[in-house]
């Protein structure tokens, strides 16, 4: 079974600075998808960014980018120019390309943004 | 925008009660999911459904059942609530189209259930 590990329970960043959230995963599959979801205090989960495993190029979405290292099974999220609105719980998630629609989530990282 | 609505934001029940958590989506999604969120454990899949009256067990189905009589509604049932089922419950839905283009999950805002 696939597992997703987020080793940082909490992180802090100063407003306008850059922060990186770590995620590693374990799988024997070669084709899969990886995601970062954000959960603000409203509890509404929001998709931040996704990466297809067959793509070597790292995904980017405005201030959010990933460092995808397939051989190392690592998928970190970099947030540049951090804003107060980025404060949330961030979840890394894995989905098999072959075996259906369910996501496997990590334990989450709480990100605090200081003004 | 897609809307996934969970009937209660907070719920308090007593041990042994039968509990229904309701979820409704308005985008004609085939897939619907129930996750449980606990501190330090992330989200764990309880059950999912890929069509009306179809269901599959997730990773932690024990103590739960589900019902999907209509496409837009997916209910999670705790037959006899226990204190270890105190948790945040999140419902989600998605299309069942080609995975590469339609894999996005849309979540509800969660139900915080306390079993006393």
For residue B101, what pLDDT is reported?
Answer: 47
Q: Are strands A24-26 and A3-5 parallel, antiparallel or unpaired?
A: antiparallel
User: Residue A93 pairs with which residues in a beta bridge?
Assistant: A35, A105
Q: Do A91 and B110 touch (CB under 8 A)?
A: no
Residue with tokens 């600075």: A17
Residue A84 is classified by DSSP as G
Q: What is the mean pLDDT of residues A52-61?
A: 92
C-alpha distance from B45 to closest chain A C-alpha (Å): 8
Question: Distance (Å, rounded) from C-alpha A32 to C-alpha A54?
Answer: 8
Could you tell me if B105 and B96 are in contact, meaning their C-beta atoms sit under 8 angstroms apart?
no
A54 touches chain B (CB under 8 A): no
Q: What is the mean pLDDT of residues A31-54?
A: 93
Q: Do B103 and A9 touch (CB under 8 A)?
A: no
C-alpha distance from B110 to closest chain A C-alpha (Å): 7
For residue B103, what pLDDT is reported?
Answer: 63
Question: Distance (Å, rounded) from C-alpha B23 to C-alpha B111?
Answer: 10
A41 touches chain B (CB under 8 A): no
Facing A107 at nearest CB: one of B41, B94, B107: B41
% of chain A with per-residue pLDDT over 70: 97
User: Could you read off the pLDDT tens digit of each residue along chain B, which spans 116 residues?
Assistant: 668 999 899 999 999 999 999 999 998 988 999 999 999 999 999 999 988 999 999 999 999 999 999 999 999 999 999 999 999 999 999 887 644 444 678 999 999 999 99
For residue B102, what pLDDT is reported?
Answer: 46
Q: Which of A30-44, A88-102, B76-90 has the highest mean pLDDT?
A: B76-90
């Amino acid at each position: 079974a696939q597992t997703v590990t987020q080793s940082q329970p909490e992180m802090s960043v100063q407003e306008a600075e850059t922060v990186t959230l770590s995620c590693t995963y374990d799988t024997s599959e070669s084709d899969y998808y990886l995601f970062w979801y954000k959960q603000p205090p409203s509890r509404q989960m929001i998709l931040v960014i996704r990466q297809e495993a067959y793509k070597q190029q790292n995904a980017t979405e405005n201030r959010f980018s990933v460092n995808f290292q397939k051989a190392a099974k690592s998928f970190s999220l970099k947030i540049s120019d951090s804003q107060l609105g980025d404060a949330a719980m961030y979840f890394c998630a894995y989905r098999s390309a072959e075996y259906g629609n369910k996501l496997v989530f990590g334990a989450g990282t709480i990100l605090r943004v200081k003004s | 925008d897609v809307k996934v609505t969970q009937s209660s934001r907070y719920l308090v029940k007593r041990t042994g009660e039968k509990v229904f958590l309701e979820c409704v989506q308005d985008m004609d999604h085939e897939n619907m999911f129930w996750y449980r969120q606990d501190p330090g454990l992330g989200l764990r899949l309880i059950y999912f459904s890929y069509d009306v009256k179809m269901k599959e067990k997730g990773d932690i189905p024990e103590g739960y059942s589900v019902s999907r009589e209509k496409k837009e509604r997916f209910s999670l049932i705790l037959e006899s609530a226990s204190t270890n089922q105190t948790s945040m419950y999140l419902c989600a839905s998605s299309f069942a189209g080609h995975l590469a283009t339609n894999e996005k999950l849309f979540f509800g805002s969660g139900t915080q259930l306390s079993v006393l």
